[in-house]
Homo-oligomer: A and B are copies of this chain.
Amino acid sequence: MEDSARARIRSSFAAQTMMATLGAELIEIDAGLIRIAAPILPGSQQQQGFGHAGLTFAIGDSAAGYAALTMLPPDNEVVTAEIKINLLAPARGDRLVATGRVVKPGKRLCVVTSEVHAEHNGASTLIAILQGTMVPVPA
């Protein structure tokens, strides 16, 4: 990937105020693969004190969306048409890491998946998988 493409993704990510609210960071940008990490902030919890499904979803969906964007020409953004999440284990630990991947790129539709792991005391547990469709739109 060119530096300009990476810069474009960083700039779009920085414009998502929700990512800042959740403390999320873009930690890897490659062609067809994006990683986003986020702590489980005091303000991101569900009723049992684990990370909220909304947190897991938000970084999983964003990682998948930006993975799609890495495959598109510079004048595009993407929006999520639909995405499904299966939650496998509580979001417990020091931080969550979402890895988004492109399964099938396309100009009309881009099919993506995402995995979210929770890191806790040096171990990493798969807590969610997502499968969805991103739609390119003009930037």
Chain A residues close to B by CB (< 8 Å):
12-13, 15-18, 20-22, 42-48, 52-55, 57-58, 61-62, 77, 79-90, 103-104, 108-109, 111, 113, 126, 129, 131-133, 135
Q: State whether B54 touches A58 (Cβ < 8 A).
A: yes
Q: Chain B residues near A21 (CB, 8 Å)?
A: 21, 43-44
Cβ of A70 to closest chain B Cβ, rounded Å: 15
Q: State whether B84 touches A52 (Cβ < 8 A).
A: no
A16 and B135 in contact, given A86-B111, A104-B126 (Cβ under 8 angstroms)? no
Q: List 15 A-B contacts (CB under 8 A).
A: A16-B45, A17-B45, A18-B45, A18-B55, A21-B21, A47-B77, A54-B62, A58-B58, A79-B87, A81-B133, A82-B111, A84-B131, A103-B129, A113-B129, A131-B131
